Amino acid sequence: LMNYFRKSLDVMGSPIRIQFKEGENPYANKRNTLTPTQMRKRKRLMKHIKKSK
């Protein structure tokens, strides 16, 4: 596909970046699950924030 565009646009030797886009976000309804290390870090951070108030 990239070689076709290079030949048809006559831009040999120039880098071409092709980006395919869709209308909707496939990760829209997915929630990020934290790893055990991230959960421990978050819990520690929240403890310090609550203690300082």
The pLDDT value given to residue 48: 93
16 CB contacts (<8 Å, ≥6 apart)? 2, 5, 6
User: pTM value?
Assistant: 0.43
The pLDDT value given to residue 26: 82
For 1-53, the pLDDT digits (tens) are 778 888 888 888 888 888 888 888 888 899 989 999 999 999 999 999 998 87
The answer to whether 5 touches 18, Cβ cutoff 8 Å, is yes
In angstroms, the CA 16 to CA 40 distance is 44
Range of the domain at 46: 1-52
Number of domains in the chain: 1
In angstroms, the CA 46 to CA 40 distance is 10
1 CB contacts (<8 Å, ≥6 apart)? 18
